[in-house]
Amino acid sequence: MKKLSFLFIVLSITIFSCKKSGEFYKIAGETQGTTYHMVYEGEHPDLKKQVDSLLHVFDMSLSTYEPYSTISKVNHGNNVEVDELFIKMFNKAKEVTEHSGGAFDITVGPLINAYGFGYGKQETEIDSALIDSLLQFVGMDKVKIVDNKLIKEDDRIQISGNAISQGQAVDFIADFFQKQGIKNYMIEIGGELAVKGLKDGKKWRVGIDKPYEGNDIAGQDLQTILAITDKAVATSGNYRKFYVKNGKKYSHSIDPHTGYPAFQNILSATIIADDCMTADAYATACMVSGLEKSKEIIRNNPGLDAYFVYSDEETGEYRVWFTDAVKKMIVDN
């Protein structure tokens, strides 16, 4: 299941029919249970077929909805040979797990499925006995790659790439664009995005939605707008993707330490990094960690910048916290 995203690309896009260098083109489609939108400058008015083909290659590695994908084979077996995309995802996930104090962990698959947010949609009755039984299969120390094979300590361990794979897909397509010689582009998949160069001589405008229940349409009510170039952006939050059952609210951000949904004072976490896979993973880590621990994560990891919307614990009012670099990115329009 796709990780619901919270970014709105504030763009006024004209689609040109001519094929001159310097014109911008737009392509859009569906992938990974969500949509994509891409804008780029160059001499290639239609790269949709190539992009769709590459996204299919990506899905056959990291989509749990593809029964014969690499990640699906991993989740149904052990000592499974993995491909380059999976290895790259795994190594980045391990890095973020270590640098976030375990707040990010791709082995939460059994928990994600139990809560009904995974590919199996196996929503069950949640109690402490179930959570305790599933936590024994959670932990990056329980999995490793040896000779290009994923070795699991227990066959029941499940890998979930929900919180990192869309960002990685953005990077995958960005690499393709750069190999095509495209210097100015915006790539967005499910709200996670990367921008390069300029659009009409200006930095790309990226809007962050206000994180409240009912703000269901991306871009309808913006918290702020950032002017960005040569960066990747990802946002995570719990105000759209959740359900209420028997009077209890369940969100998709699961704390790997406790096994329960993480309802922290952060309402949405936007991370800006050099690559989208990193931004995607840390956005989830910050939602799990809460405001103060998230500030520490950002400060301890050079290359990360953040914009947090959080609830003041005393007044309940919305507040924002952002890094100095982000302060320079904020624009009025």
d(CA 29, CA 114): 30
Phi/psi of residue 324, nearest 5 degrees: -60, -40
Q: From residue 185, how far is each of 15, 48, 166 by CA, in Å? A: 14, 14, 17
Q: How many CB atoms lie within 10 A of CB 12?
A: 7
Closest CA to 321 of 297, 294, 301: 294
Q: How many CB atoms lie within 10 A of CB 208?
A: 22
- pTM for the whole thing? 0.88
Tokens describing residue 216: 């269901």
Q: Residue 333: pLDDT band by 50, 70, 90 thresholds?
A: low
Output the DSSP codes for 110-143: HHHHHTT-STT-------HHHHHHHHTT--GGGE
Per-residue pLDDT of 84-108, as tens digits, reads 999 999 999 999 999 999 999 999 9
What pLDDT shows up at residue 11?
Answer: 38
Whether the CB-CB separation of 207 and 330 falls below 8 Å is answered with no
Per-residue pLDDT of 126-149, as tens digits, reads 789 999 999 999 999 999 999 999
Phi/psi of residue 268, nearest 5 degrees: -155, 145
Whether the CB-CB separation of 16 and 24 falls below 8 Å is answered with yes
Domain segments of the chain as ranges: 78-152
Give the helix/strand (H/E) hosting 99: helix 84-99
| Fold (CATH) for 78-152 | T-fold (1.10.3980)
